[in-house]
Amino acid sequence: MIAGHSHPHVLAAVERAARRGLSFGAPNTMESELAERICTLFPQVERVRFTSSGTEAAMSALRLARGYTRRDAVVKFEGCYHGTADSLLVKAGSGALAFGTPSSAGVPDDLARHTLVAQYNDLASVEALFAAHGERIACVIVEPMPGNMNLILPAPGFLAGLRELCSKHGALLVFDEVMSGFRVALGGAQQLVDVVPDLSVFGKVIGGGMPVGAIGGPAGVMEMMAPLGPVYQAGTLSGNPIAMAAGLATMDLIAEPGFFERLDAGCARLVDGLNAAGRETGVAFCAQHRGGLAGLYMLATPPASFAQVQQQDVERFKRFYHRMLDEGVYLPPSPVEAFFFSGAHGDADVDATIAAASRALRAVA
């Protein structure tokens, strides 16, 4: 909800689309218009396939990578979340070279064995997987700025190293930008880190918060998808007119000159205030952000790995969360979830949140 929960420009577009029909089970012109905008903002994206969710988009990106490379294995990172597809509901075993083990009931071991798990910001763990299984690896899928083990920023050279490894071994690099795309910058995290993936996965922000996802990439890869190629993907509600209308209206707003500068400045002001509150109260507490994507932690300094995230004082976070809720501030209810700053948040919201955090931290110190 990067423009807020009920921006009048988005609501008006949705109402106009709804009067023409809620769903057609067929392509509509707004799909093409939104796809063209995405292609303009992401130069390597020449084709876009819409889905109904980020989960579906990530799942389809894996199938496409496997079909394109004719390989079965995928590399993901412990702590990175890519939705609820079976192949992606896997976390690390003991050691970076271990085959994945399912982290949810109902995921067959035989399927999980095709998922290899590495450590985010640890390029050596990925190099070891390629050394052992390079001919089997279809793709590396990664959140370029993870938000699902709270916000973790990529170490210098890490994402560029993934790009080099994938190119060297004939695997595809897939950026899951469901959280970071159109939120840390208009061109996503890949614009900020200056690394070009083979496939990009987008989520609800491109539909103004409506149920939508998308896969984008070069024509040579994307045209492996049906009906032009042998990789099947379809969905009756994919690219539905309501989500497309909301997405186009949201794109109007976030593409306005200065939008992301204001978003970044507002979020920076909030993060600076939260960090000051942590210092003043003496609590091991900090925050950081990129654009409108931010994280707060029960740690003295921002974490750089999944292992560091797990060192948080979870019980103190629980008390802090409920204190903030009593103050009227609804935070993500987990110490491993990032939070979002929107264009609807103003200075008064920021000031109130900082003041509430200061009181809450004193209460839980």
Digit-by-digit pLDDT tens for the chain (365 residues) are: 899 999 999 999 999 999 999 999 888 999 999 999 999 999 899 999 999 999 999 999 999 999 999 999 999 999 898 988 877 777 632 233 334 455 567 777 777 788 999 999 999 999 999 999 999 999 999 999 999 899 999 999 999 999 999 999 999 999 999 999 999 999 999 999 999 999 999 998 999 989 999 999 999 999 999 999 999 999 999 999 999 999 999 999 999 999 999 999 999 999 999 999 999 999 999 999 999 999 999 999 999 999 999 999 999 999 999 999 999 999 999 899 999 999 999 999 999 999 999 999 999 99
Look up 122 and say whether it is catalytic: no
Query: Which pLDDT value is given to residue 101?
Result: 53
Look up 91 and say whether it is catalytic: no
The torsion angles phi and psi of 339, rounded to 5 degrees, stand at -125, 165
Q: What is the rounded radius of gyration, in angstroms, for the C-alpha atoms of the chain? A: 21
CA–CA separation, 284 and 297 (whole Å): 8
CA distances (Å), origin 187, targets 206, 209, 348: 12, 18, 29
Strand, coil or helix: 200: strand
Q: What is the residue-wise DSSP string for 133-187?
A: HGGGEEEEEE-SS--SSS--PPPTTHHHHHHHHHHHHTPEEEEE-TTTBTTTBTT
What is the residue type of 294? A
Give the tokens for residue 76.
Answer: 């993901």
CA–CA separation, 299 and 141 (whole Å): 28
Q: At what angle do helices 241-254 and 29-41 cross, to 10 degrees?
A: 30
Q: 181 near 166, Cβ under 8 Å?
A: no
CA–CA separation, 267 and 134 (whole Å): 41
CA–CA separation, 232 and 183 (whole Å): 30
Question: What is the distance between the terminal CA atoms of the chain, rounded to a whole angstrom?
Answer: 33
Q: Which candidate in 76, 122, 176, 297 is catalytic? A: 176
Helix spans in 70-139 (H): 109-112, 123-133
Query: Which pLDDT value is given to residue 112?
Result: 76
Q: 225 near 233, Cβ under 8 Å?
A: yes
CA distances (Å), origin 173, targets 78, 144, 161, 304: 17, 11, 11, 21
Give the tokens for residue 90.
Answer: 């896997």
Q: Which candidate in 68, 91, 198, 204 is catalytic? A: 204
Please give the helix or strand (H or E) that residue 202 lies within, else none: strand 199-202
Dihedral (Cα; 5, 27, 41, 8), 10-degree rounding: -20
CB atoms under 10 Å from CB of 269, counted, come to 16
Query: Which pLDDT value is given to residue 98?
Result: 36
Q: Lay out the sheet containing 115-118: strands in order across.
A: 47-51, 213-217, 199-202, 172-176, 137-142, 73-77, 115-118
Query: Which pLDDT value is given to residue 283?
Result: 95
Look up 120 and say whether it is catalytic: no
- The reply to whether the predicted model has a pTM over 0.85 is yes
CA–CA separation, 126 and 190 (whole Å): 20
CA–CA separation, 32 and 212 (whole Å): 15
Query: Which pLDDT value is given to residue 285?
Result: 97
Q: Which candidate in 68, 76, 81, 321 is catalytic? A: 81
**Domain ranges (residues) in the chain:** 8-254, 259-364
Beta-strand pair 101-102/47-51: unpaired
Q: What architecture is domain 259-364?
A: Alpha-Beta Complex (3.90)
Fold of 8-254: Aspartate Aminotransferase; domain 2 (3.40.640)
Q: Which bin fits 98, alpha (ψ -120 to 50), beta or left (φ > 0)?
A: beta
Query: Which pLDDT value is given to residue 106?
Result: 74
CA–CA separation, 187 and 141 (whole Å): 18
Burial annotation 42-56 (CB, 10 A radius, 16+ → b, else e): beebbbbbbbbbbbb
Query: Which pLDDT value is given to residue 113?
Result: 81
Query: Which pLDDT value is given to residue 102?
Result: 57
